Structure 1
Amino acid sequence: MKPNFLSLPIGASDDAADYFGRELAFEVDPVDLAQDLAAARTDGYVLVETRSAGAYAEAHLPGAICLPYREITAESTRDLDRNLVYVCYCESIYCNAATQGAYRLARLGFTVKRLSGGITTWLAHGYPVETGVAVPWTA
């Protein structure tokens, strides 16, 4: 008996490469990010906590700025460097605050990616977090 998923159309390898390449263009793997942070490779991007300021205070990725997605506007982002990539993250795969934050930033002309799995996956890997209230971000 044929597996159910094999009864559905299967894309050609060129189509698959295009599809997964587009997906990777917008996603950051937590392992890669943790390795970059550990090696102090932090140029060119900013980590963006898109949950609430309270969630940020409880735990956030090292060096992340606090920019709750509901507060992302032209005014709140006017001092952000448009030459950087903004890596948005939220709670987990069950939360869409990172998606909403990335969407709002992209609509304002920023280059964005989303951290796969959010802070839940980050913590599950045992990677470090910081605590404390947000301070205004400066370039």
Structure 2
Amino acid sequence: MTSQPVTTADHPVLRVPPADPAVAAAHFAAALAFHADASDVAAALTAGADPGFVLLDSRSAESWDQGHIPGAVHLPTSLIAGQAHGLLDPDVPVVTYCWGPACNGAARAALVLAGLGYRVKEMLGGFEYWVREGFAYETVRGPERRGADPLTAPVGAEACGC
């Protein structure tokens, strides 16, 4: 009995074929222009020098008090249009974050900031992945840190290697 070759029409992954390499390169370069991940943001913030961007937490005051990234600026999305120019230097890129991957608050904040003329990126994973990757955060009670979730970051390693 010989098996029949799988045709691309029947293949769940290749039913729509991969893009031409040049098209794929343009797509992924564009995606990186709009996004940073928690690990890269943490590395930039802890490198000891000016990270070259401002990190902006776009969540509510209650969310901020529950936990936020050290050094972040707190500016809820609803206040950005009226307060950004008083808090943010338009020449410095802004990286926004919100709760996590199931929340689009950071994207909404980035949209408002871009409309005001700021260069902006969204931090993928938001506060959830910051905590899950084992980075320190602050609450109204003071600094906190949890161990890295082995499904999101290598336990006991400085970097994920990606």
State if a TM-score over 0.5 links the two structures: yes
> Who is 2:146 aligned against?
none
Q: 1:44 maps to what in 2?
A: 52
Once the 2 structures are TM-superposed, how far is the Cα of residue 9 of structure 1 from its aligned partner? 3.2
Deviations 1:16-64 (A, max 9, x none): 0000000000111211111122222334211100110111111111100
Contact 2:97 2:105 in 1 (8 A): yes
**Alignment pair present for 1:119 and 2:115:** no
Using the size of structure 1 for normalisation, the TM-score is: 0.88
Alignment-derived partner of residue 25 in structure 1: 33
* Cα distance in structure 1, aligned partners of 2:31 and 2:132: 23
Aligned residue number for residue 89 of structure 2: 81
Aligned to 1:135: none
Q: TM-score, normalised by structure 2?
A: 0.76
Equivalence for 1:67: 75
* Worse-matched range after superposition: 3-12 or 116-125: 3-12
Q: How many residues matched?
A: 131
**Aligned residues with identical type, % of pairs:** 36
Deviations, residues 52-101 of structure 1 (Å, cap 9, x unaligned): 0111111111100111112211x311222001111000111100110000
Structure of higher CA gyration radius: 2
Cα distance in 1 between the residues matched to 2:67 and 2:45: 16
RMSD over aligned CA atoms reads: 1.3
